[in-house]
């Protein structure tokens, strides 16, 4: 019984660890997203549903001539300072 519990716990951990969106949004941590070359970030948002889980949606546009790539850092400030997540979005 102990081995079954350990196995289930280990599999659950690896399943959650492979889903950056879920880990960062629910449990804190960091995640880096690189946007395609010559794209400019306009906005980003989380979407959660029972069918698809948690997704990070990015709105981008074509980078105009003369615009330089930027790096954006979105972070959560929680009341207790626990489970704060950070998403860094890098334009190439």
Closest CA to 60 of 23, 34, 22: 34
What is the pTM assigned to this prediction? 0.68
SS3 call for 36: coil
pLDDT surpassing 80 at residue 21: no
Question: Structural domain of residue 44, as residue ranges?
Answer: 2-91
The predicted-structure confidence for 29-50, as pLDDT tens digits, reads as follows 888 999 999 999 999 998 888 8
- % of the chain at pLDDT higher than 90: 38
Residue 67 confidence (pLDDT): 96
Q: How many domains does the chain have?
A: 1
- Looking at per-residue pLDDT, the higher value among 2 and 49 belongs to 49
The answer to whether residues 60 and 42 touch, using CB atoms and an 8 Å cutoff, is yes
Classify residue 31 as exposed, middle or buried by CB count within 10 Å of its CB (0-12, 13-18, 19+).
middle
């Amino acid at each position: 019984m102990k081995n079954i519990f350990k196995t289930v716990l280990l599999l659950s951990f690896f399943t959650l660890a492979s889903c950056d969106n879920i880990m960062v949004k629910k449990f804190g941590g960091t995640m880096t997203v690189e946007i395609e070359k010559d794209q400019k970030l306009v906005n980003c948002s989380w979407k959660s549903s029972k069918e698809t889980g948690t997704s990070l949606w990015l709105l981008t546009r074509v980078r105009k001539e003369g615009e330089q790539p930027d790096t954006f850092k979105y972070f959560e400030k929680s009341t207790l300072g626990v489970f704060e997540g950070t998403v860094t979005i890098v334009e190439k």
